Structure 1
Amino acid sequence: MMNTELELGLERRIGKRSAAVVEKHLGITTVGGLLNYFPRRYLSRGELTPISEVPLDEEVTLIARVISNSTRQMRARRGSLTDVVISDDAGGPHRPGHPGAGIPGTLKVSFFNGYRARAELQPGRRAMFSGKVTRYGGSLGLTNPDFLLLDEDPDTPGMDPEKLAAMPIPVYPATAKLTSWSIQKVISTLLDTVDLGALADPLPAAVSAREKFLPMPEAYRLIHAPQTPEDWRRARDRFRYQEALVLQSALARRRAQLAAEEATARRPVPDGLLAAFDRQLPFTLTAGQSAVGKTLAGELSQDGPMNRLLQGEVGSGKTIVALRAMLQVVDAGGQAALLAPTEVLAAQHFDSIRRTLGPLASDGLLGGLGDHTVQVSLLTGSMPTAARKQALLDAASGTAGIVIGTHALLSDNVSFYDLGLIVVDEQHRFGVEQRDALRGKASKPPHLLVMTATPIPRTVAMTVFGDLETSVLDELPAGRAPISTHVVGLAENPGWASRIWSRSREEIDAGHQVYVVCPKIGTDDDGDFSPGEAEPGPGDLEDDGAARELASVTGVVEHLREEPALAGIPLAPLHGRQDPTVKSGTMASFTANETKLLVSTTVIEVGVDVHNATLMVILDADRFGISQLHQLRGRVGRGGLPGTCLLVTALEPGHPSRRRLDAVAATTDGFELSQEDLKLRREGDILGSSQSGGRSTLKLLRVLEHEDIIARARQDAQEIVGRDPSLADHPVLAEAINDYLNPEKEAFLERG
């Protein structure tokens, strides 16, 4: 039994005219699309909306009482302006005749030529308003909002006033042209005409019975037209679980498909390269590194492909763990590819892996050790032609056991002799097509290890990386020193601006080095934000973006060359638009301690490893996301010397964007920060590519708040798919998965 009713065109159930309006403003064309357009929240007719909680720059729907109404003729243009002051009654009693705007709990509402507002919005009346909240002259206001008087409700004539006051009003995500109550009206028509009884339930009957869920037809009715708050809560619980189950079943099905694929087992060799490497390691692996190493070794030895996510703080030793896995594959006759997001990082991995291998690298720094050697090759887009040709040849012939590169590894002319393992560094920088392109270069599905230094809360890992098994390295190896982080607020302490540079000089005079990070390259651009990073949203930019010039690499370098405290100090710029040879020359000079101060964009965010750098100054730190700030500060304190990070901001202390800075200064625990980050940014598009806040694809599910629901649904999904991998006995669930995962989301799940 399939849900054909949900796929019907809307015009069949609500008429052509209404359907056209819904399609134009909401982009919805089917019965199912509109039925699943759930209310964002519910208002009680009997209660006023707290005006202090009304968000700036967003479409809002609120209930308030009118305090005053006055109209005047406009001077600059023809027509009249009606000003209505509305209240949530939090500001206390109002004196008669007092206009009230600006008092806590009041909001000014302006109407141009608002004849209806002038007549209807009389003092004492209650109404629902819908519009965009803006800031004008220091106080919040609404301009030309739509409104609906609540004193007499045309839909419910003769209803008991007490019952009416308790009846929740659904508030839908509205647009400037389509109010919440217009959407409610259309959905009300739909509920009268749609055949809800014909809908098949994607939830297995046993799950519904266990959870005591409402039947689906009733749940649709009560989520859109509840009589009591209990009605919508019960309906929402049902749909929330349904969403979690559909999502987790999609991931479980994906995991089952991956497990059924056939990979080449790469079993350990008792006296091979890996054994030689372990013998010459100058330090002992941490307990976590050993444990994860055992897990990887076991999975590489299987006939099914390994698909594992390795999370670990900056400096937790992920690279050693990955290198040991690569050596096991090379021992077994295969090749390993390491994919890095930037050329700087690829070159760094190349240098550090060859340095770590020492005499085991066959083009070895110290000459090879007989058979126990491996050739490591680097392949990037900007390499000289001859070197690039040689690297391509070495990958294709199997001469290179380990190939390290950027997305240049993905181009059509790159082929491998026998690709056995792909290691992806900093997963969130790579798109689906890129991973698929690399997988396609192996004759059988290769093993996959994804590494990230961005800590991911457990629920997000269950949801976003649900098709990968997860390992965490949560202890730092010996020699990592603590990093202290301080917010430097220039708004309240303007004198600190020059102190930053004398502090930098002290660090350099003590023999150490300094990073200075800027949000943009030159004075003419908008910023050098990394792909996939959270660029500041409109809420972050309000009232401070236009007023101040952001720090740029070129501007700061010019300023610091004139800065008395840094006289005679060798400093250099580094950013993404420089020629690759200039970039690598600058990095080499900084690594060799010739350049003492590096002024850079976020290109140094991942992987840059200079042990002597102890101070990082991040200018306009409020322009970066939490995870980015955490990554950046991980560049200092790497050589056993304590690190310091200064988050410099010109924003006022109460500004919302300073919450991020306070959060980063308060803890160096990446997992704690990732939870905070998610709270501040909202989920973003969990299953889409835009993971930077904004609208969540998840309708009712919130990954931080509903961990228990997600875990329960995951358990159910694993049992269902375990018994029935193709979901042949659950056709409605399979159909719901296909509807929920449009092609882009499905592709996103194919992160293997």
Structure 2
Amino acid sequence: MSDAPASAAAKAPAKSLPQKAMEKLGLLRDIDFALHLPLRYEDETRVTPIADAHEGEHVQCEGEVTECRVDQRGRRVLIVRLQDDSDEVLLRFIHFYPSHQKTLAVGKRVRVRGEIRHGFFGREMVHPQFKAVQEDTPLAASLTPVYPASASLPQAYLRKAVAAGLKRADLRELLPPGVVPAKLPSLRDALNYLHHPPPQAQLSTLEDHSHPAWQRLKFEELLAQQLSQIQAQRERALLHAPALRAKAGGLVERLLAALPFALTEAQQRVSEEIAQDLAHGQPMHRLLQGDVGSGKTVVAALAAAVAIDAGWQCALMAPTEILAEQHFKKLVGWLEPLGLKIAWLTGSVKGKARQKMLDAAADGSAQLVIGTHAVIEDKVKFAQLGLAIIDEQHRFGVAQRLALRKKLASQKLEPHLLMMSATPIPRTLAMTYFADLAVSTIDELPPGRSPVSTRVFADAKRWNVIEKIQEEVARGAQVYWVCPLIEESEAMDLSNATETHAELSAALAGFSVGLLHGRMAPAEKAAVMAQFSGGEMKLLVATTVIEVGVDVPNASLMVIEHAERFGLSQLHQLRGRVGRGAKASVCVLLYTGPLSQTGKDRLRAMAETNDGFEIARRDLDIRGPGEFMGSRQSGAELLRFADLQEDSALLQAARHLAPLLLDQHPEAAHRQVARWLGAKAEFLKA
């Protein structure tokens, strides 16, 4: 053992900026460098005579510097004239250093690469790449890779680091014969090709990722991801959880009898699926998904009733205080009359009130604890937590979900885990990202819900919309007006909630107009929501804090300003705040042009369908799987190369082979996951 003092670590040499930048990019192991693939390529394998270079082309030319001067008129500009046997080209540098002038001095031979433009003095390049050469300096033997980088990480430095990592990386074939689809190259050959393609390589197949080298990487990645999912599923099957069964004539039956409505067939079906899971001694790991307003809260209440009836506690965690409070009010209304004690735990509960809630959770007198992130703080102890319910699970990071699961670790038991989402997940994504997760789907809305008509208007029609609001409010309707920002942003010319509130207050003189945004104190938010829910307030100007959980059946009109700035699933969530009663409801999407193609696709999808599953499918088409899944990865981008739609054949092959590989070649399977995911495999356990 070393005798070095503990403080020695503090004397370790400081990391350079490039080293820090590489770590930020996730470049830690040799294999990380090997898998850091180029964004594009530059062709430095040939020199184009200056006379043959056409406008708009990126070319490499070589010649002798015949002029190098600094133009002092206005802004200082370095002007360099380069001549070869065919013609000359002007090089223009707006930002330059003394080293530029030294390398580009008159008489020096240089090789330059850039885009040819036509200026006042003929052909020119602005800020080309350049290097000093001799007449016999060899050309590059392969295309030059351009890697994803950052400002503090020069391409030249990164290229050397990647080349060194690629050379050192262990790229031995881990997979047994017959596993890799036919006609695909070895992993080593595939990576060497992608980092250093030969001059004759077809750039189109490299850029669209259809080249066999790309196909090999995609297959490897999908296989590792599927292996890690199945491993997580099998490891969970070895864990133990309390077996929770409802009693005959107990809390579940009493709750069903007390509810002021009957469950839909879909609610009954998913409640039975959850009850069957809870009855097993293995931890449930189930996602409950349903469209906005499909009634997931009552299903959660029934699951909680099963756990409580069996003598265990339940925790329900929501991402925002507004949503947590909505759940709290509903569950208190349903469960407290049946004799249950419910604790309320959020960041705004302080002092003695907070301690009282903590004590009730710790001694077991609170059978149900509802709150926000506060539920997973270290100080929160449970007597015996049997079921954890996480609403809008995609809004929580993986570490937070893991923390909630560990609240029972001291008893060598895991709580059952039920996650809920009002953003339906397309089947392909569920198969891939949630292969280790059982999925229950509520695919029908409760009776009495009115369909929402969606209309799209340019911002020029804003006053027409305000006039319509005046009519609706005069008839007794309630209205939401949603703004994307709280304060003005210099970067984006967006109307802010405060200004809009003042404008609409003036337009609706005589009616109460409220304002709700994320920077208000919890008590202020609660007061505003109480006024709106009670019908005293006719119009509520809000930011996206109302995206989930707000339930005001009388609200029948919603206006979403700058709708082009919102994501498709967020627009659908917001629209779900209206149409919650029997009144015909309308959602107006106001946009500011010109619209991008993505913006047009989003607004068209909203106008054409109310179906959350169809919305989710289109959202996947528009955004791609990585963005759609959001916090599922939470820092662990699980698919970097494969595309779930384009590569469905490779995905199916990986799904088929993964269990066979785990059963017949467990060591190879373990190495495959370690190579591709490293520590990221832990994220799948949440």
TM over 0.5: yes
Partner of 1:204: 176
Q: CA deviation at 1:377?
A: 3.1
Q: How does 1:356-375 map to 2 (within 5 A)?
A: 357=334, 361-362=335-336, 364=337, 368=338, 373-375=339-341
Assess if the C-alpha contact under 8 Å between 1:111 and 1:117 holds in 2.
no
Q: CA deviation at 1:655?
A: 7.2
* Among candidates 570, 594, 615, match of residue 512 of structure 2: 570
Question: In the alignment, is residue 318 of structure 1 matched against residue 296 of structure 2?
Answer: yes
Partner of 2:121: none
Q: SS at 1:412's partner residue? A: coil
TM superposition score normalised by structure 1: 0.72
Alpha-carbon distance change, 177 to 426 in structure 1, aligned in 2, over 3 angstroms: closer
* Among candidates 561, 568, 582, match of residue 505 of structure 2: 561
Partner of 1:707: 648
- CA deviations 1:559-597 (Å, max 9, x no partner) are 22222xx12011111122222222112111111101111
For 2:661, the aligned partner's letter is I
Partner of 1:482: 451
Q: SS at 1:308's partner residue? A: strand
Assess if the C-alpha contact under 8 Å between 1:685 and 1:698 holds in 2.
no
Q: CA deviation at 1:422?
A: 0.6
TM superposition score normalised by structure 2: 0.79
Alpha-carbon distance change, 588 to 421 in structure 1, aligned in 2, over 3 angstroms: same
Question: In the alignment, is residue 431 of structure 1 matched against residue 397 of structure 2?
Answer: yes
Assess if the C-alpha contact under 8 Å between 1:520 and 1:551 holds in 2.
yes
Q: How does 1:22-171 map to 2 (within 5 A)?
A: 28=27, 31-41=30-40, 63=58, 75-79=73-77, 111-112=93-94, 129=114, 144-146=127-129
Q: How does 1:281-360 map to 2 (within 5 A)?
A: 281-355=259-333, 357=334
Partner of 1:247: 225
Assess if the C-alpha contact under 8 Å between 1:685 and 1:691 holds in 2.
no
Alpha-carbon distance change, 669 to 65 in structure 1, aligned in 2, over 3 angstroms: farther
Partner of 1:665: 607
- CA deviations 1:515-535 (Å, max 9, x no partner) are 111222244xx5xxxxxxxxx
Partner of 2:558: 616
- CA deviations 1:380-417 (Å, max 9, x no partner) are 23236454444333323333322211122223332222
Question: In the alignment, is residue 222 of structure 1 matched against residue 193 of structure 2?
Answer: yes
Whole-Å separation in 1 of the counterparts to 2:637 and 2:353: 45
Q: CA deviation at 1:741?
A: 3.0
Q: CA deviation at 1:479?
A: 1.7
Whole-Å separation in 2 of the counterparts to 1:240 and 1:668: 35
Question: In the alignment, is residue 740 of structure 1 matched against residue 676 of structure 2?
Answer: yes
Alpha-carbon distance change, 639 to 708 in structure 1, aligned in 2, over 3 angstroms: farther
Whole-Å separation in 1 of the counterparts to 2:600 and 2:256: 46
* Among candidates 219, 233, 249, match of residue 271 of structure 1: 249
Alpha-carbon distance change, 168 to 287 in structure 1, aligned in 2, over 3 angstroms: farther
Q: SS at 1:614's partner residue? A: strand
Partner of 1:750: 685
Q: How does 1:386-405 map to 2 (within 5 A)?
A: 386-405=352-371
- CA deviations 1:166-224 (Å, max 9, x no partner) are x9776544666878799778867887xx488x74223332312x544323333333333
For 1:204, the aligned partner's letter is P
How much is the aligned-residue C-alpha RMSD, in angstroms?
A: 4.3
Assess if the C-alpha contact under 8 Å between 1:339 and 1:425 holds in 2.
yes
- Structure 1, 374-383 or 447-456: larger mean CA deviation: 374-383
Q: SS at 2:32's partner residue? A: helix
Alpha-carbon distance change, 128 to 712 in structure 1, aligned in 2, over 3 angstroms: farther
- CA deviations 1:347-397 (Å, max 9, x no partner) are 111111233x2xxx34x2xxx5xxxx4333322232364544443333233
For 1:468, the aligned partner's letter is L
Partner of 1:123: none
Whole-Å separation in 2 of the counterparts to 1:257 and 1:153: 61
Question: In the alignment, is residue 454 of structure 1 matched against residue 454 of structure 2?
Answer: no
For 2:480, the aligned partner's letter is Y
Assess if the C-alpha contact under 8 Å between 2:115 and 2:126 holds in 1.
no
- Structure 1, 411-420 or 215-224: larger mean CA deviation: 215-224
Q: SS at 2:390's partner residue? A: strand
Q: When the two structures are aligned, how many residues end up with a matched partner?
A: 622
Q: CA deviation at 1:458?
A: 2.7
Assess if the C-alpha contact under 8 Å between 1:72 and 1:80 holds in 2.
yes
Alpha-carbon distance change, 216 to 411 in structure 1, aligned in 2, over 3 angstroms: closer
Whole-Å separation in 2 of the counterparts to 1:700 and 1:420: 39
For 1:515, the aligned partner's letter is Y
Partner of 1:9: none
Percent identity, please.
Answer: 39
For structure 2, which runs of at least 5 residues remain unmatched after alignment?
1-15, 46-55, 62-66, 83-89, 117-123
Alpha-carbon distance change, 470 to 24 in structure 1, aligned in 2, over 3 angstroms: closer
Question: In the alignment, is residue 380 of structure 1 matched against residue 346 of structure 2?
Answer: yes
Q: CA deviation at 1:627?
A: 1.8
Q: CA deviation at 1:145?
A: 4.3
Q: SS at 2:650's partner residue? A: helix
Q: SS at 1:205's partner residue? A: coil
Whole-Å separation in 2 of the counterparts to 1:480 and 1:110: 66
Question: In the alignment, is residue 497 of structure 1 matched against residue 441 of structure 2?
Answer: no
Assess if the C-alpha contact under 8 Å between 1:651 and 1:658 holds in 2.
no
Whole-Å separation in 2 of the counterparts to 1:331 and 1:83: 86
For 1:200, the aligned partner's letter is R
Q: CA deviation at 1:481?
A: 1.6
Assess if the C-alpha contact under 8 Å between 1:258 and 1:305 holds in 2.
yes
Assess if the C-alpha contact under 8 Å between 1:459 and 1:703 holds in 2.
yes
Alpha-carbon distance change, 272 to 376 in structure 1, aligned in 2, over 3 angstroms: same
Q: CA deviation at 1:634?
A: 0.7
Assess if the C-alpha contact under 8 Å between 1:520 and 1:553 holds in 2.
yes
Whole-Å separation in 1 of the counterparts to 2:464 and 2:136: 64
Whole-Å separation in 1 of the counterparts to 2:91 and 2:614: 41
Q: CA deviation at 1:628?
A: 1.6
Q: CA deviation at 1:460?
A: 2.9
Partner of 1:134: none
Partner of 1:513: 478
Assess if the C-alpha contact under 8 Å between 1:203 and 1:242 holds in 2.
no
- CA deviations 1:675-702 (Å, max 9, x no partner) are 443444454479985979x996633212
Whole-Å separation in 1 of the counterparts to 2:153 and 2:522: 51
Q: SS at 1:393's partner residue? A: helix
For structure 1, which runs of at least 5 residues remain unmatched after alignment?
1-16, 47-60, 85-107, 120-125, 132-140, 160-166, 527-544
Assess if the C-alpha contact under 8 Å between 1:685 and 1:695 holds in 2.
no
For 2:74, the aligned partner's letter is A
* Among candidates 525, 547, 551, match of residue 495 of structure 2: 551
Q: SS at 1:485's partner residue? A: strand
Q: CA deviation at 1:659?
A: 4.4
Alpha-carbon distance change, 110 to 279 in structure 1, aligned in 2, over 3 angstroms: farther
Whole-Å separation in 1 of the counterparts to 2:28 and 2:482: 48
* Among candidates 432, 435, 440, match of residue 406 of structure 2: 440
Whole-Å separation in 1 of the counterparts to 2:632 and 2:568: 17
Q: CA deviation at 1:502?
A: 1.3
Alpha-carbon distance change, 323 to 177 in structure 1, aligned in 2, over 3 angstroms: closer
Q: CA deviation at 1:713?
A: 1.5
Alpha-carbon distance change, 445 to 594 in structure 1, aligned in 2, over 3 angstroms: same
